Structure 1
Amino acid sequence: MFFAAAALLPFLVHASTPGPAADGRAWDGRTRTLHEWGTFVSVQGSDGIALDGLRHHDRDLPPFVHDLAKRGGILALQLKMETPVVYFYAPGTWRLDLDVRFPHGLVTQWWPTAQRVNEPCARGAEVLAEHCARVANLKDGFVSWGRHDDLVILPPDAEVELAPVAADDPWGFARAVASNPLRVARAVEEEGKPTRYELEHERLLFYRGLGDFALPLAVRVRTEERRVDERAGAVRRLGLDLTLARDSAALRGLFVIDVEGDLACFARLGDLAASRAEDLELALRPKADATAELAQAVAAELEHAGLFADEARAMARTWEHAWFGDEGLRVLYVLPSSLVERELPLTVSHGVHQAAGANAWDEAPPESIVRVFVARTEVLTPSKERVLRDTVKQRADGDAKAAEAIAAWGRFAEPWLARVRALEPDPTVRAAAEALLREARARP
């Protein structure tokens, strides 16, 4: 999930449970339920090869979110895990422990306060040096809430004060879901010892990270063309080779999205059970129209995958206001649950539930867990790669505008510069790409 920088003054949110979705799938009001949605983001060259370097984010999270990156020393590899958002549903009060492991990655941001994050490395004990080395290499990350009864899922009708966000911040979209509010107790330490506790309230658990494992789909751009049709107007032609990893389950709900200036187009490609070629001819339309329609189509796909209707709309609306309209070619698809459980296993334990008006606590594990993760692959086309190479060449020749253009590449600077370095035959330009890449990697 990308969250836009606040453009308006923040305000306190007095939160009661939003009403149920007007239509579509919704919580039944009885079943103890956990739902999660999230995204894995990667970059590929036009040949379908994954590119390393996704470390930065181009839109800020709210200031209350905890950020491991502020400690420095984090390098990025193939993937950026974005948005995992966990919602809880229960008819009464529900206490539980929740643990998420990231065997091939590192959790870098989270909210509310977690009991442990990539710990015990952060405590700096010498005996844990081997574990800390693995964490530094983006392995064996994890985040844990609960442990000491400090994660409490409050009743559905509980009213709480939430941390402030701006009125137009997409974080608010994630909150616009009829889930139970929750409470976390954060220990405030003095001289290394907890002296008191402060309560944090939210409608969700959030975490984000960096990882190093392969997604199951490679997208090779075989052909590309832009032409103007007398009847259809601007038309985008794309020839794509979609290669599914041999050990992968089928992929659901593929979308291809292409944005060019103020125009955009998209196509739903359906499910992918085996590798295949796609030849597409898509009419470019005003970007606002195309992305609004895309958000509706993606929300329907997410609901079909198991999310409640308001959760699916929240996820799609967040993307619509964040990156649906960003320049470039990208492919979206729902990841197989087997991959999610392997790369991001989630465990819920020690669950106890107290019904409204009751005194007793009963053992209460979740009765339903649904996790829907989407892969977002940013794909470089041959024409885009030529533009990148030309820009680096101009920068090597001292062109100030080229330097500004490279600075504007933002979070994609590292993978794009790595691609230029790999493609460029001119040793001078290749050396310039290498120097710029070192500069990008040195930035916090």
Structure 2
Amino acid sequence: MKRRSPFPLALALCVLIAAPAAANDRLVIHEWGTFTSLQNDNGDLIAGVNTDDEPVPGFVHDIGNTVTRSVSQMSPAFQANMTKGGIPRLHPDVTMRLETPVVYFHLPKGVDHMTLDLDVTFRGGWLSQYYPDAESNTSGEDVTTKHITADTAGALSWKGLDVGGAKKGPETTEHVWLAPRAVQASPVTTAKGESEKYLFYRGVGKLDKTLLPVTLVREPEGGHTLWTAGTVRHFKSWLVDVREDGKIAFQHGHDPQRGVAFYRPFTEKDYAASNLPLLQNYMQGALTVAGLFQDEAKAMVKTWEHSYFRSPGQRLFYIVPKEWVELVLPMKVSVPADITRVMVGRIEIVHPRQQSAMREMRSSSADGVAAFIRKSTTDVKDWTVYQEVSSGKKPLDALGAQVPGIYKSYLKLGRFRDAILLEENARRSAPALKTFIRENRIGMYEVK
């Protein structure tokens, strides 16, 4: 299959310098994905972040059997005995998420089919979900009875993968699955007959902050300092703040010349809804310069549109240095290929707005929590509205007046709210927090 020109003309010169095009007689493999972590003001990692996943279709494989419970058994914030991707939710070792790496294949000119093996290993983590079917070295028993350590190495192997043809993937309506399909790539089919436009996998890991390529620290005056590790220097980064009203502010990070970069505090004039397409275009351009084809970069930005750009919160995005990707997530392919892997680092920051919501919870009354749990678990309509608000699909005021104030403050904590809540309770407990956590059975998973 002859490949079209991958980049806009305006980017042609810098792309030719940064990422030379592959020869037509070699297989081209492109991958994108996200490394996500949650950090407090001091840049310390917060554990238990295997929560609040973007939903994937039911045909996706898990390394463990997902525990399901009926609505009548779950409180609105129930977490403790549920799993995400086969991994017990709020696992105490999980400080990093490997979110939705997608691998595309582009066949050489004149080649219709190719058979190959592809292996990927997550050093310091487990690869928890995947599609099409693959061989995993991790079992459901492993993830419920073992800790994640520096020696943990979760691996997936696709053996005898057929690249080419016209087979389509399963039907689905999930946005995060459909968006990556909008790419001119060769479909893949496994020996068992599962097909898709790409290889998909996810993972969770335990990485000390000293092993991360960057650390972000909030300064007393409200700005941020970005520290880079080792020899890491030149990469693109963006500090982004999304408010509940949908307005967004962002700053470009300059290449850290001495291993450090600074971001000034945001001001009111920085926020505008019109900043969203600007930021998306900047990131899409940076992804193409890093080596992705234009439709691949567009698919990545589209896939994460809600989570990246519309979910309230403050976060840092950066292009992960290639050397770090190869160290933490090595890939092997059985045939000669030109491989480009473009990963985005995402640091979720505990923002002053979340700290304010936590103070509200600490000073709130927990009266009414038990009654609300009983009502919501017997009324499917109430439960559905709560879940839509919890996921950000509906505004907070959709809950109405019947919801206790402590629940509304809890939802203001945003993504990873349970990990934030448990860390706060461990540092500065309060009666209302204890009651809320107990009644909703929120707690870190205990490795048996």
TM beyond 0.5: yes
Measure, in 2, the Cα distance between the counterparts of 1:27 and 1:430: 56
Measure, in 2, the Cα distance between the counterparts of 1:406 and 1:321: 20
Partner of 1:112: 132
Deviation at 1:174, TM superposition (A): 0.7
Q: How does 1:8-47 map to 2 (within 5 A)?
A: 23=8, 29-47=24-42
**For the structure 1 residues 32 and 130, does the alpha-carbon distance in structure 2 shift closer, same or farther, using more than 3 Å as the test?**
closer
Partner of 2:177: 171
Partner of 2:237: 254
Measure, in 1, the Cα distance between the counterparts of 2:431 and 2:41: 23
Q: Does 1:85 align with 2:83?
A: no
Comparing 40-49 with 25-34, which one deviates more in the overlay? 25-34
Q: Which amino acid is the alignment partner of residue 179 of structure 1?
A: A
Measure, in 1, the Cα distance between the counterparts of 2:410 and 2:64: 23
Deviation at 1:423, TM superposition (A): 4.5
The answer to whether the 8 A contact 2:361-2:433 is kept is no
Partner of 2:381: none
The answer to whether the 8 A contact 1:221-1:382 is kept is no
The answer to whether the 8 A contact 2:316-2:348 is kept is yes
Partner of 2:45: 50
The answer to whether the 8 A contact 1:421-1:433 is kept is no
Q: Does 1:240 align with 2:253?
A: no
Aligned-residue sequence identity (percent) comes to 29
**Residues 369-424 of structure 1 deviation map (CA, whole Å, 9 limit, x = unaligned):** 11111110011123421322322431546572213542675751232113322542
The answer to whether the 8 A contact 1:47-1:220 is kept is yes
Measure, in 2, the Cα distance between the counterparts of 1:57 and 1:42: 13
Measure, in 1, the Cα distance between the counterparts of 2:186 and 2:154: 27
The answer to whether the 8 A contact 2:132-2:190 is kept is yes
The answer to whether the 8 A contact 1:418-1:437 is kept is no
Count of residue pairs the alignment pairs up = 371
Measure, in 2, the Cα distance between the counterparts of 1:17 and 1:414: 48
The answer to whether the 8 A contact 1:257-1:266 is kept is yes
In the superposition, the TM-score normalised over structure 2's length comes to: 0.74
Counterpart secondary structure, 1:384:
helix
Counterpart secondary structure, 2:304:
helix
> Which among 304, 307, 318 is matched to residue 292 of structure 2?
307
Q: How does 1:12-411 map to 2 (within 5 A)?
A: 23=8, 29-68=24-63, 70-71=65-66, 72=83, 74=88, 75=91, 77-91=94-108, 92=111, 93-114=113-134, 116-119=135-138, 121=139, 133=146, 139-146=152-159, 149=160, 151-154=161-164, 158-166=165-173, 169-186=175-192, 199-213=193-207, 214=209, 215-223=212-220, 238-245=222-229, 247-261=230-244, 262-273=246-257, 274-282=259-267, 283-287=269-273, 289-349=274-334, 351=335, 365-366=336-337, 368-394=338-364, 396=366, 400-406=404-410, 409=413, 411=415
Counterpart secondary structure, 2:100:
strand
**For the structure 1 residues 436 and 423, does the alpha-carbon distance in structure 2 shift closer, same or farther, using more than 3 Å as the test?**
farther
In the superposition, the TM-score normalised over structure 1's length comes to: 0.74
> Which among 414, 438, 442 is matched to residue 439 of structure 1?
442
Unaligned runs of at least 5 residues, structure 2:
10-14, 16-20, 67-82, 370-403
Higher fraction of strand = 1
Higher fraction of helix = 2
The answer to whether the 8 A contact 1:51-1:78 is kept is yes
**Residues 253-286 of structure 1 deviation map (CA, whole Å, 9 limit, x = unaligned):** 1101101122111111132241233324453444
Comparing 302-311 with 415-424, which one deviates more in the overlay? 415-424
Counterpart secondary structure, 1:299:
helix
**For the structure 1 residues 410 and 331, does the alpha-carbon distance in structure 2 shift closer, same or farther, using more than 3 Å as the test?**
closer
Q: Which amino acid is the alignment partner of residue 416 of structure 1?
A: I
